[in-house]
Structure 1
Amino acid sequence: MPYVATADPPRSVPKFAATAVLPVAAVTALAHCVATLLGRGYWFDEVYMLAIGRYHLDWGSADQPPAATALAALMDAVAPGSVFALRLPAMLATVGAVVLAAMIAREFGGHRRAQGLTAVAQATALWPTLTGHWLTPYTLEPVQWLAILWLLVRWVRLRDDRLLVALGAVVGIAVMTKFQVLLLCAVLLVCIAITGPRDLLQRPALWLGAAIAIAVAAPTLWWQQSHGWPQWQMTRVVAGEADALYGGRPGIAVQLIVYAGVLGVFLGLYGAWQLLRAPHWRQYRFVAVTAMTLYVVFVATLGRPYYLAGLYGVLAAAGAVSLQRRRAGKPAGRRWPARVGVLTSVATAVLILVFSVGATRSDIGEDIARTTAQAYQNLPGPRREHTALLGESYIVAAYLDGYAPQYGLPPAHSTNRSYGYFAPPAESVDTVLYVGRNPDAVRGYFGSAEKVGTVNDDLDIYLLSKHRQPWQQIWPRLRTLTVS
């Protein structure tokens, strides 16, 4: 039966367990700082944010809202070329998610141990551990989703409508970061209408908050509309990549759960079960129903396996508090199972963090820029003035742009992903240095093609000369969201 609001006064909650939560947050921050310092180069998604922010900052792009790119531009302006500075917003978001997850456990009635256990579960979740020091939209997203859930959970306890106004601002910022939050909000509203608390939907403050969210997100929504909603087209691209990247629906179904980490999987599944069945969790049942609904949607539509990362903390909080309730009034028993779970989760997270460091120790991005710069500098001066850089994929173009100041390169172009929606080369450009595996897609638009370099036996550099048609005609024909 759906939860119905009562006139009961708000229940009190335990104090925030700073001595249990903040050390976990501090260790998390230190771990990601060390991972950044041990790495050598950029992760390809974060150099993509840097490239867009540095050269193409706008209210949107084909596959990203502007928040991450704006942060990249800001950090690049404050500390040009500093990878550590670039990653500070991501690390702060990752640490903030740890604290917010513990605060949700507190709202649920969790004492010191439950709050600390939740913080550890969030800190050792595999996806945040892997990506928590890379400035990307999917790194910023978990803290925003947890903020949304914390405001809702706190409202259920306090019935303070100011929280709903704040909720609107958070949702607006989240939309400017990643559009999946729109689906989260839609599913939350439906689940609350079904399971309660239904009086939430009757609060004017909720709809005031919705108006604020729309106002905050309006510029990027307008950008998408005026460019034909390429973000909507990206859903088909994401689905098309699922088999090759994640093993199709079976792989996504498993990874959506496994990415919560060892402790997160146990607490999350137990928490979801308790939310669905225990009478005292009735007012928060919408949390579990929302998570289950989104799980089914993301598996069915072949979404990315990290799309639930923003819900791991709230489910872990429910699990940790449920364990606390189960042990209440019972004699203290052996605590080794919990300790083994924590240690196993931490050990697994350390391995994932080491893998993450290895992923950015490769100098492939710098090699691309260095070799391209050599080919570019070998051109006669007058010819360089009429030559543009053209990357086969957005990844290649982003690496060229990321290292452009270091190697004296002009801004790069590509017809792939967001780059395809940026301005094409000037009409005075009749030659391009094409960096990729195969120039056949563009070779027909030029009079000649000459191989002038190779990058690590993986990518080639071609000099394509004498383009035959105006760039304004060529560009729309070559534009693609799919990475070849």
Structure 2
Amino acid sequence: MLIDEPDTRRRTPRALHPPATWPVLGIAGVLALAHAIAGAFGDYWIDEVYMLAAGKYHPSWGYVDQPPLTPMIAAAMDVIALDSMFVLRLPAALASGGAVVLIALLARELGADRRAQAIAAFAGATGLWSNLIGHWVAPYTFEPLLWTALLLPLVRWLRQHAQGVADDRLLLVFGVLLGINLQLKFQVVLLCAALLVSALAVGPRAVLTRPLLWAGAGIALLIGSPTLIWQALHGWPQLAMSSIVAQESPMLSGGRGGTAVQLVLYAGVLGTALVLAGLWLLLSRSWLRPYRMFAVAMILLWVFFVVTAGRPYYLIGMYGLPIAAATVGLQRRREAKPPRWGWAAWPVYALSLVAAGMLIYSGNSINREFSAALTQIDSDRVSDAIAQDVSRAYLSLPAEQRTRTAVIGENYISAAMLEVGGEHHPLPDVFSPHRGYGYFDAPSDEIDTIVYYGRDAEELRPYFTDIRPATPGENLKGWIATGKTQPWSTIWPALKSL
């Protein structure tokens, strides 16, 4: 039978092994608890404070650099418990644990017994990148959960199709989950493109002939339409972000070479070994042939992200599938010939666990160092320190002048910190011409005085006659600009930058 021909013969479905409920839930629960505890301390991560500011002060159906789901989650948590880092980050911790459960379910779909499911869950729980960011409210924190959830109904359909009993309603579920993914990050479009090419190349092509697959795609477009329409109305700024990501690649990941390595190594000590082994098994073993398209898709995405100098965490949502395949491969080998050196795996488990634990509890230190490098401020709460000093500069102005004053942050990070920190310090409206903030509201023409927070104020000099240092606070790197020479309708488009 050709690989792209559906098998219409009725077969007895292969029974799945019982779920490893308590081992998997235990691993996921410990991980979620560790992230919840770690998340209760420290300051906002730079992307996290932007998510909160965007969702709380600038709710929208779309943003320049991401869809609205993560900002909505951050804003909702802030409504539930204002200023509570624990509550704000609780969805991230739960998502990190939930992704582990789904990886174990993927392994079960491929034929894993309870032991193999637990190993898959452990590998998923000890990923390097996931444990570093697993308690920060950012799109890439939720991506492993949603990508794995997206792949699960497709894997189940492929298993059933190989047995001749596929339930096409699973393809509708795939469409719903795809729509939710579209509200999180647009990289899922690349995943779907890679899966489409892979299905055409190595099969099973039968999935592409199912009407409910395309009905599911229609549902996905319907769910994702608000943010897609927003992007279309604003000239698709998300597409322009790819060049910005490439420009930042040398600083963040060491360029394309660093990205190539980290795209795999972020799976963790045990995870990296299983991802590589799983890819090989998916490509070479006949019993995994129905799922070969996933290995091809992952390799295609790896090549694409390296060539385009993408972020080194763009593949974290795909780790679960090859990890699942590898654990089943180990199980089949164990069943065929019990290993004599099974104890040798325990040092790998121990090293994986130690590395993951170190990353979870070093995240706040890494966050502090990164924020200090960006802001030149060494503080446990950088956002509050910035807001306090800018507020002092603002309050140093005469009362009448303050009615015509706004604050501008040099970049989206400082603007977000000022808006969030401004909850506790008197500040006027905060703006920034950078990235997503440049697409928020611009200052009104009544504004003729600016308190500017940034390294220098050179970009303002063509539009203000007087720019002097603002020095009320010990941390402030800012200026006060007066004597506006042009309307903001002219100034703002000239300042906007991604």
Please say whether Structure 1 and Structure 2 have the same fold, judged by a TM-score greater than 0.5: yes
C-alpha offsets along residues 407-447 of structure 1, whole Å, 9 cap, x if unaligned?
23233100000000111111111001000001101122111
After the TM superposition, which residues 302-451 of structure 1 pair with which residues of structure 2 at under 5 Å, given as runs? 302-331=309-338, 333-361=340-368, 362-451=380-469
Asked if structure 2 preserves the Cα contact closer than 8 Å seen for 1:55 and 1:411, the reply is: no
Query: SS of the residue aligned with 1:16?
Result: coil
**Residue 54, structure 1, aligned to residue 56, structure 2:** yes
Correspondence 1:466 to 2:468? no
1:204 match? 211
Provide Cα deviations, 1:234-279, integer angstroms capped at 9, x if missing partner. Answer: 0011011111221111110011011010011011100110010011
Amino acid at match of 1:301: T
Give the Cα–Cα distance (whole angstroms) in 2 for the partners of residues 211 and 9 of structure 1: 32
Of 14, 33, 56, the residue aligned with 1:11 is 14
- TM-score (norm. length: structure 2): 0.94
* Selected match of 2:93 from 91, 94, 104: 91
Does structure 2 retain, via aligned residues, the 8 Å contact 1:10–1:157? no
Question: Match of 1:141, SS?
Answer: helix
Q: Secondary structure at the match of 1:466?
A: strand
Q: Secondary structure at the match of 1:46?
A: helix
Distance 1:326 1:4, change over 3 A: farther
Post-superposition CA distance 1:259-317 (Å, at most 9, x none): 01001101110011001001111001011111111000000110000000001111111
Distance in 1 (CA, whole Å) between partners of 2:3 and 2:344 is 35
**What is the distance in 2 between the residues matched to 1:334 and 1:66?**
50
1:332: how far off?
5.0
Tell me the secondary structure at the aligned position of residue 50 of structure 1. helix
Identity, in percent, stands at 47
Q: Secondary structure at the match of 2:428?
A: coil
Distance 1:293 1:302 in 2: 14
User: What is the deviation of 1:58?
Assistant: 0.5
Distance across 2 between alignment mates of 1:354 and 1:78:
26
Q: CA deviation at 1:454?
A: 7.5
Shift of the 164–384 alpha-carbon distance from structure 1 to 2, 3 Å rule, reads: same
Structure 2 unpaired stretches of 5+: 161-165, 369-379
Q: How does 1:13-412 map to 2 (within 5 A)?
A: 13-37=16-40, 39-158=41-160, 159-331=166-338, 333-361=340-368, 362-412=380-430
Q: CA RMSD, aligned part only? A: 1.4
Could you give the per-residue CA deviations for residues 190-228 of structure 1, whole angstroms, max 9, x where no partner exists? 111221121111111100100000001111011011111
Does structure 2 retain, via aligned residues, the 8 Å contact 1:2–1:194? no
TM-score normalized by the length of structure 1: 0.96
Q: Which amino acid aligns with 2:420?
A: G
**8 Å contact kept, 1:17–1:115:** yes
SS at 1:407's partner residue? Answer: coil
Aligned residues: 479
SS in 2 for 1:432: strand
SS at match of 1:406: coil
Mapped to 2, the partners of 1:9 and 1:382 lie a distance apart of: 81
**CA shift digits 1:156-186 (9 cap, x unpaired):** 1231111111111111110111000001011
Match of 2:371 in 1: none
